[in-house]
């Protein structure tokens, strides 16, 4: 019997599986009456219903990752992941993008990482960070080459409770792209075209294996995907779907899931309010308080897939936004100097997590199944 099966059965010994009672379900939304969660997502929710038992399962899963990594299921997952990366590169290269080596460390990194902390270390007497996202760096490479992308490793010290979402790793890879003189609508078009291309490529190469070995059947997606403004999404979630949250804040993970299970295609949420995002997302000059940005959510309850935006390029506005979000502009001196020298540095782009995309395409329970040697918040030591 495979190690992963032994682990799962052991984790459920003497424990009746309970269907997830999420924050949204507590508020009156019955998932079973809607478009259903993907079975793997539902299985994950069953697992985390008993948090203590789930944590013990996950500790052993992570500690002995070399065991399950040799199982036929995960051999296939890793081969599909390689095909995903091949398809991404093939599509972006055909669209005129240039792959650029990503930064690994720097004096600053992306501060807008939803509660996660950065890894800081001493770099010859200077405080440096391990990249949590290369967003600040890809802007000037877009100014150099026009359209660029990174396949970038990122490290984020996620909150301890992130292990119960199924969507967060401490160490992960992201495809980060940026375009010079582009709008957020341009970036959304690239995002949906890229997603559709990758899904079709994987179906063409691995479709039979997906169905026979992973019980995963992928639909034929066609853009454009449905679009909701943040304002509309907030109203729908709070009044129609009974998943309430404060206007002006990030949409909670549970509410993203609720929204996604009402659709059989990915969807976009656009134009977040100013206080919900980092200083680099551009504010609409004609609509103060509204940002020119977007998220793309997977269907079937898999949650956030992509986050992108136009970039703020007015140095004075960037400094103002930094201070509003508690950032010290002095730490971003090179970035502010770059914005002044390359003014107006008008770019737009997005990032898509490789492990989350793998999880969606393969229909996996959590992102810790979509990466060899996974690392999650609070569980150590592991390989």
Tens of pLDDT along 254-273? Answer: 999 899 988 889 999 999 99
Say if CB 370 and CB 364 are below 8 A apart.
Answer: yes
Helices (H) and strands (E) in the chain, counts: 13, 11
Chain centroid, CA 189 distance in Å: 18
Residue 177 DSSP class: E
Looking at residue 6, its pLDDT comes to 54
Looking at residue 25, its pLDDT comes to 29
Q: How far is CA 372 from CA 10, 213, 336, in A?
A: 22, 19, 38
Tens of pLDDT along 119-140? Answer: 999 999 999 999 999 999 999 9
113 band by pLDDT with thresholds 50, 70 and 90: confident
SS3 171: strand
**DSSP codes joined into one string, 271-301:** --BGGGS-TTBPBPTTSTTBBSEEEEEETTT
**E-strand spans in the chain?**
98-99, 105-106, 120-123, 126-130, 147-155, 171-180, 227-229, 267-270, 293-298, 303-310, 347-353
Tens of pLDDT along 330-371? Answer: 999 999 999 999 999 999 999 999 999 999 999 999 999 999
CA distance 168 to 85: 20
CA distance 154 to 185: 26
Q: Which residue has the tokens 């779907």?
A: 241
Q: Which two tokens stand for residue 359?
A: 């999880």
Tens of pLDDT along 181-190? Answer: 999 999 999 9
Tens of pLDDT along 200-210? Answer: 999 999 999 99
Has residue 116 got a pLDDT over 50?
yes
Has residue 16 got a pLDDT over 80?
no
**Domains of the chain by start residue, with CATH:** 71-369 (3.30.930.10)
């Amino acid at each position: 019997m495979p190690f992963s099966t032994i682990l799962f059965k052991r984790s459920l010994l003497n424990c009746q599986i309970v269907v997830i009672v999420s924050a949204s379900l507590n508020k009156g939304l019955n998932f079973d009456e809607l478009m259903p969660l993907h079975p793997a997502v539902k299985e994950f929710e069953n697992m985390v219903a008993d948090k203590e038992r789930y944590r013990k399962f996950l500790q052993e899963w992570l500690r002995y990752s070399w065991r399950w990594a040799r199982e036929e299921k995960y051999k296939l997952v890793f081969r599909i992941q390689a095909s995903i990366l091949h398809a991404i590169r093939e599509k972006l290269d055909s669209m005129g993008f240039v792959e650029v080596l990503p930064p690994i460390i720097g004096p600053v990194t992306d501060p807008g990482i939803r509660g996660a902390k950065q890894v800081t270390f001493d770099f010859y007497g200077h405080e440096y960070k391990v990249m949590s996202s290369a967003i600040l760096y890809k802007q000037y490479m877009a100014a150099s080459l026009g359209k660029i992308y990174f396949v970038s490793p990122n490290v984020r010290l996620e909150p301890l409770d992130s292990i119960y979402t199924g969507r967060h790793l401490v160490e992960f890879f992201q495809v980060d792209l940026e375009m010079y003189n582009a709008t957020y609508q341009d970036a959304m078009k690239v995002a949906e075209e890229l997603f559709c291309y990758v899904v079709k490529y994987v179906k063409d190469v691995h479709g039979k294996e997906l169905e026979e070995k992973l019980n995963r059947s992928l639909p034929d997606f066609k853009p454009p995907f449905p679009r909701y403004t943040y304002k509309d999404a907030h109203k729908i979630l709070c009044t129609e779907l009974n998943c309430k949250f404060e206007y002006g804040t990030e949409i909670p993970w549970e509410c993203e899931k609720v929204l996604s299970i009402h659709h059989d295609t990915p969807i976009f949420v656009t134009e977040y309010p100013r206080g919900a995002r980092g200083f680099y997302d551009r504010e609409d000059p004609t609509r103060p308080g509204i940002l020119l940005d977007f998220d793309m959510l997977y269907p079937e309850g898999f949650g956030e897939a992509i986050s992108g935006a136009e970039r703020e390029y007015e140095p004075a506005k960037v400094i103002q936004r930094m201070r509003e979000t508690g950032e010290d502009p002095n730490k971003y001196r090179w970035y502010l100097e770059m914005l002044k020298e390359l003014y107006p540095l008008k770019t737009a782009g997005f990032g898509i997590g490789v492990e989350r995309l793998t999880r969606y395409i393969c229909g996996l329970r959590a992102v810790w199944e979509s990466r060899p040697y996974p690392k999650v918040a609070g569980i150590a030591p592991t390989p």
